Structure formats: C-alpha cells, structure tokens
Amino acid sequence: MKTIRLLSLGFLLFTICSCNYFKSKHPQAASPDEGATGMTDKTILNFIATTDRTLSNYKKQFSLIFLSGDLSVYVEKYSAYGDGMLYRTYTANGNTSSTIKSYYFKNDSLILVKEQNKIMNDGVEIYKNVRTYLRNNVAFKMDSRTASSAAALATLPYLLIQPSENKYPVEDYTGDIKGMNDAIAGTDKFEMVFDNITTYPDAHYISLKSKSPGNYKASLRVNSKDAFIDSLLNFPAVFKDEKLKLRWKIRDKEAVYVPVDSASTSASGLNK
C-alpha cells in the first residue's frame, strides 16, 4: 500500500472566519501590561524559541493520518506540566499546496500562530511563512517572508505586515483548536469506524472510514498480528462499521498498528 505522506495545508483543515475585523489598537491589545499574558512580540518569540528547543520533554499526542480526496490531515499536540503547549497541523492538497500550522500557547492563552506554506503556482514553487502575534485572542502584529526555496526562505528576515486601515483579520482559532482536538481524540467528523482489512505480502492494512458519510478515511499498517488482528481477518463482517479501540504510532510517514500487549500506549496514538 502506498505510504501516506505527511504534508500540510492548514487552511483546508478548518473553517476560518475572516470576514470580520478587530482594530489592532483594540483595548485588549493596546498595551503589553493589559494582555492576558502581558507579552510583547519579542518576549513571545523568546518563549517560542524555548518551547521549540525543549519539545522533546513535552508529552506528545497525535492523530491518525486522515485522507479526503487529495486532502491529507495529520495533527500533533505537545503539552508540558508547566505553562507551554503547542498544536501543529500538517495538511496538504495533493501536489498543489501544503502547510504546517503551529499554535503556541502560554498557560491557556494563544500567543502565536505560525503558518509555513508551500504553493505550486504555474510550475513554480513559492514558500511563505506568516506569523500572527496575539494578546487576549486579539492579533496585534503580523509579519511574513517569501522565497522560491526553503533554503532561501530560512535566510530572510520577517517583514511587518501593515494592517489595512489599522485592522488585522480575525480568524476563528477556537474552531481550529476544536478541530485539532477532535482529530486527536477521533471524535466528531474524525470519528472513524472499521471498513475492511486487506492482506499484502509484507503486511496487513486496517482501513477505516469516517462515521459521517463522505468525509475522511484512514489506514493502519499491521506488521505483527495479535488475537485482535486474527479476529479482524477471520470475521471482518462482525466488526463492519464498528468503532475499534486501536493504538498506533507514526513511523516513516505512516500510521502503524501497535499490538494490544504493548505497554506504553494512550487512548489515541502513543504518548512520547
């Protein structure tokens, strides 16, 4: 079976509301001392850099790799016992475009959203990063950089995005976070049920489909059988359209089934 690629396109994963606007001089965003975290753009970037350096110490949760037509979706969540948390989505629309979208939290406050976009335009690749700084859920600064390659992009500074008439667009980050939590927990439109199990010379594959008609599909590679896999192989009709209690890990850009006798597992995926 073809390996599922972990690409990204965040604006296809969640519905974003951008028709309304807040002023960047909104009372909640006017002063660093008035915000939920009291952070400036500089202190936010320092906090983000520390988070990125210490992610290996965070608890990690992750979703299956979901497919819907040419769209692929994968979600990770990093959380610490202190004040940091990071959600990251990897989505893609075939070979047309891809995005990694990262949501950084300090305590319970979303402080930065970073989008890393790769877009194919008339055969030319365009790489673009956009950062949105927030205070009390209000965007008070945005900056970006654009290049024709990932290597070139990394050498460029971010340039300030000037707000239109002193206004930055408002996005529904609450909806984004709900969608990512649903993907990790396997709920709502990401609730999956058993479809079939197929056999190939090197492995078996469990195929899942969304409980909601016409949405997502997912699969898990089975490298080693256990009693549960034997039951799926021998009596697939018994499990048809049923929600299975599965454990998995992500390896080589593919979801791999973890046998039931494995010790270190969680409700969705594996904890790191």
Beta bridge partners of 72: 67, 92
Q: How far is CA 14 from CA 25, 28, 41, 48, 198, in A?
A: 27, 26, 26, 23, 31
Q: Quick check: 22 and 138 in contact, CB under 8 A?
A: yes
Domain ranges of the chain: 10-181, 191-257
d(Cα 4, Cα 208) in Å, to the nearest integer? Answer: 14
Q: What is the pLDDT of residue 35?
A: 38
Instruction: Please report the beta strands in 136-191, taking only residues with DSSP state E, as ranges in sequence order.
Output: 138-147, 159-160, 167-169
Instruction: List the chain pLDDT tens, one digit each, 272 residues.
Output: 443 333 333 433 443 333 333 333 443 344 443 334 589 999 999 999 999 999 999 999 999 999 999 999 999 999 987 678 999 999 999 889 999 999 999 988 999 999 999 998 888 999 999 999 999 888 999 999 999 999 999 999 999 999 987 888 888 899 999 999 999 999 999 999 999 999 998 899 999 999 987 789 999 999 988 999 999 999 999 999 999 999 999 998 899 999 976 433 333 444 33
**Pairing of the two strands 59-62 and 255-257:** unpaired
pTM of the shown model: 0.82
Q: Quick check: 243 and 227 in contact, CB under 8 A?
A: no
Give Cα 176 to chain centroid, integer Å.
9
Beta bridge partners of 141: 133
R_g of the chain computed on alpha carbons:
21
For 52-91, give the DSSP string. HHTGGGSEEEE---EEETTEEEEEEEEE-SSSEEEEEEEE
d(Cα 243, Cα 233) in Å, to the nearest integer? Answer: 16
Q: What is the pLDDT of residue 11?
A: 35
DSSP label of 19:
S
